[in-house]
């Protein structure tokens, strides 16, 4: 039996009970093909198999490496690469292996790449308000016609309302989502196909226009999504840290502690992590400096759980996740085997 006290830190921990409950809640809300889980959030085929066991057999990927790994793990029944690529050769090899691969296109160049690489199916990526990839809604029909002329099957459309998924007010989030989805539905009327794919963890419950939702973070969660009051999912992921230094209070200067988790083990694009029972001051390469609420209760060598603000880039910095039970016993290890490109 291994407990977390024997793990080398930093180490990713996943609370087994929270993980199971998050899987249950989402499969009840969006059963079967209503959810196309985004594996970029956890980058683990072992965790994807848990999602498949919950009834979800169509998956979203962000990288070619994720597509390859999912197919190799026997999870290639329906993989959507929700990203444009200009060299689809490796994707074509996955198709010839027997997996079903669909890639997003938004231009003649990405259509040519899909065709030349051996991908047979595409969705038209539509800009629904987030200034990233995607064609204008009114141009979606032309893109679909180009794809069909190249011999590709056009399965439908996708669009990501990423600029509204974290809006705190649920009514504002719903109205923002509706505005985005009206653009996507306009594009779909020009494109056709069976797929209207959109959404994320923040809009999984309010996006009633898309027929499949690409949520991913729900399974592990982070403090950014955790700040939304209407989401039912629990924080399953933390980064286990060790207190490596303490500095006692001196006069009006409060005491602080340092743990061995920093920029190289945390995704920081959504801000500082959270340490329950204290206030994080700042993060540096290998350290997080924080002020414990009760300085006297913290000693060098203590183990502390650090909650990341953004789960996706945090997981991508680690090679494995340790599943733990309520007694801090390690009950499983999930390799993070979809890292890289």
User: Which of 217, 248, 269 is a domain's end point?
Assistant: 217
Which residues are 81's β-sheet partners? 61, 103
Residue 331 and residue 187 in one domain: no
Q: Is 134 a residue whose pLDDT tops 90?
A: yes
pTM attached to this predicted model: 0.96
- Mean pLDDT, to the nearest integer, of 212-217? 98
Residue 248 and residue 305 in one domain: yes
User: Which of 217, 242, 275 is a domain's end point?
Assistant: 217
**CATH number for the domain including 240?**
2.40.37.20
Examine residue 228 and state whether it is found in any structural domain, yes or no. Answer: no
Residue 208 and residue 325 in one domain: no
Return the H-helix or E-strand segment holding 111: helix 108-117
Residue 61 and residue 202 in one domain: yes
Residue 211 and residue 239 in one domain: no
**Helices 140-149 and 108-117, axial angle in degrees (round to 10):** 30
Examine residue 69 and state whether it is found in any structural domain, yes or no. Answer: yes
What is the C-alpha end-to-end distance of the chain, expressed in Å?
A: 35
Using DSSP, state whether 113 is helix, strand or coil: helix
Q: Is 1 a residue whose pLDDT tops 90?
A: no
Residue 265 and residue 307 in one domain: yes
pLDDT score at 59: 99
Examine residue 222 and state whether it is found in any structural domain, yes or no. Answer: no
Examine residue 205 and state whether it is found in any structural domain, yes or no. Answer: yes
Range of the domain at 56: 16-217
User: Which of 165, 184, 217 is a domain's end point?
Assistant: 217
Examine residue 246 and state whether it is found in any structural domain, yes or no. Answer: yes
Contact yes or no for 261/241 (Cβ under 8 A): yes
**Helices 108-117 and 89-96, axial angle in degrees (round to 10):** 40
Residue 66 and residue 194 in one domain: yes
Examine residue 340 and state whether it is found in any structural domain, yes or no. Answer: no
What is the tens place of the pLDDT at every residue in 300-323?
999 999 999 999 999 999 999 999
Residue 163 and residue 261 in one domain: no
Examine residue 271 and state whether it is found in any structural domain, yes or no. Answer: yes
Bond prior to 10 in cis (omega within 30° of 0): yes
- Mean pLDDT, to the nearest integer, of 277-301? 97
Residue 136 and residue 205 in one domain: yes
pLDDT score at 184: 98
What is the tens place of the pLDDT at every residue in 219-254?
999 999 999 999 999 999 999 999 999 999 999 899
pLDDT score at 110: 98
Average of per-residue pLDDT values in the chain: 97
Contact yes or no for 70/76 (Cβ under 8 A): yes
Q: Is 168 a residue whose pLDDT tops 90?
A: yes
Q: Is 39 a residue whose pLDDT tops 90?
A: yes
Which residues are 98's β-sheet partners? none
Cβ neighbours around 284 below 10 Å, total? 11
Please count the structural domains in the chain. 2
Examine residue 87 and state whether it is found in any structural domain, yes or no. Answer: yes
- Mean pLDDT, to the nearest integer, of 139-155? 98
Residue 66 and residue 196 in one domain: yes
**CATH number for the domain including 73?**
3.20.20.10
Residue 30 and residue 153 in one domain: yes
Contact yes or no for 235/321 (Cβ under 8 A): no
Residue 292 and residue 213 in one domain: no
């Amino acid at each position: 039996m291994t407990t977390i006290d024997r793990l080398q830190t930093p180490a990713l921990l996943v609370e087994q009970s929270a993980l199971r409950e998050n899987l249950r809640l989402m499969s009840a809300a969006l059963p079967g093909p209503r959810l196309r889980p985004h594996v970029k959030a956890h980058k683990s085929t072992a965790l994807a198999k848990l999602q498949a066991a919950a009834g979800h057999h169509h998956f979203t990927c962000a990288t070619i490496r994720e597509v390859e790994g999912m197919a190799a793990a026997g999870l290639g029944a329906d993989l959507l690469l929700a990203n444009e690529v200009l060299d689809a050769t490796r994707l074509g090899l996955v198709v010839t292996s027997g997996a079903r691969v669909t890639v997003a296109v938004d231009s003649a160049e990405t259509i040519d790449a899909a065709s030349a690489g051996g991908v047979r199916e595409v969705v038209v990526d539509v800009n629904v308000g987030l200034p990233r990839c995607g064609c204008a809604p009114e141009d979606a029909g032309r893109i679909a016609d180009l794809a069909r002329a190249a011999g590709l099957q056009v399965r439908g459309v996708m669009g990501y309302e990423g600029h509204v998924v974290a809006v705190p007010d649920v009514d504002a989030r719903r109205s923002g989502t509706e505005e985005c989805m009206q653009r996507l539905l306009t594009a779909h009327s020009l494109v056709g196909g069976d797929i209207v794919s959109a959404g994320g963890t923040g809009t999984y419950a309010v996006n009633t226009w898309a027929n499949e939702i690409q949520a991913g973070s729900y399974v592990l969660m982070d403090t950014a999504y955790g700040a939304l009051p209407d989401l039912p999912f629990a924080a399953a992921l933390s980064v286990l840290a060790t207190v490596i230094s303490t500095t006692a209070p001196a006069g009006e200067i409060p005491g602080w502690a340092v743990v061995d988790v920093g920029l190289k083990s945390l995704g920081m694009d959504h801000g500082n992590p959270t340490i329950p029972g204290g206030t994080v001051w700042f993060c540096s390469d290998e350290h997080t400096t924080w002020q414990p609420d009760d300085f006297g209760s913290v000693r060098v060598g203590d183990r502390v759980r650090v909650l990341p603000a953004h789960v996706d880039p945090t997981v991508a910095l680690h090679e494995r996740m340790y599943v733990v039970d309520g007694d801090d016993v390690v009950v499983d290890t999930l390799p993070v085997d979809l890292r890289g490109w």
